Amino acid sequence: MNKKLSLVLVSCSLALSACIKPYQPNIQQGNIINNSDLREIRYGMSKQEVLFILGTPMVIDPFNQQRWDYFFSNRNQRKKETDQRLITAMFDGDKLVSLSGDVDLSNVQSLEPSTEDRQHGGTVITEPTQREKGLFNRLGLFKKKDKIKKKTDG
């Protein structure tokens, strides 16, 4: 009897340990490229203005100092998905002459806000939610109905 009990306990502990996954944080690399920042870019801007808006480029080509590459990668460990964005800025002297990659400067004004637009310091800003208290309330059983009193002017 003792052997059967220990066998059951060992098998239950192995089954439960297979359900537990360690926390794996999302991995961000490169410059966060916001659509709101891209809307501010205009042809003819100086390198300093582009540097101020987009930040330091990930790669400045050592053989072509007029090309700046901005790369952003976000790996979601839970979904096993990777979002990537690559923007290449080309300059003629000190002036921006082209922007290519995942976005075209001709339609940058129509870009919708990206998820990176809601980020600040690596923290995603979300709407606060109030969790229902109690199991029966969450299931919708025995839910109290709110009484709303109407004010009449007069």
| 105 φ/ψ angles, rounded to the nearest 5 degrees | -65, -20
- Tell me, yes or no, whether 22 lies in a domain: no
**What is the pLDDT averaged over residues 19-46?**
81
- Specify the pLDDT at position 148: 46
**The pLDDT of residue 95:** 93
Structural domains of the chain, count? 1
What is the domain-level CATH number for residue 108? 3.30.1450
- The region that residue 80 occupies, defined by phi over 0 for left and psi between -120 and 50 for alpha, beta otherwise, is left
Instruction: Tell me the residue range of the domain where 88 lies.
Output: 28-117
| 3-class secondary structure, 103 | coil
Mean pLDDT of 62-91: 85
- Residues contacting 72, CB < 8 A, separation 6+: 28, 29, 30, 31, 32, 33, 84, 85, 86, 116
Indicate whether 28 pLDDT > 70: yes
pTM of the model: 0.55
Residue 62 lies in a domain: yes
pLDDT > 90: what percent of the chain? 5
Q: Which pLDDT does position 91 carry in this prediction?
A: 92
Of the candidates 53, 129, 135, 130, the residue with the CA atom closest to the CA atom of residue 96: 53
Does residue 68 lie in a domain region?
yes
Residue 12 domain flag = no
Percent of the chain with pLDDT over 70: 69
CB-hemisphere CA count at 13 Å for 19?
A: 6
Residue 3 counted as domain residue: no
Q: Is residue 43 in a domain?
A: yes
Residue (of 9, 116, 93, 5) closest to 45 by Cα position:
93
Question: What is the pLDDT at residue 118?
Answer: 52
The rounded distance, in Å, linking the Cα atoms of 95 and 98 is 9
Higher pLDDT, residue 136 or 123: 136
**Is residue 131 domain-resident?**
no
149, part of any domain: no
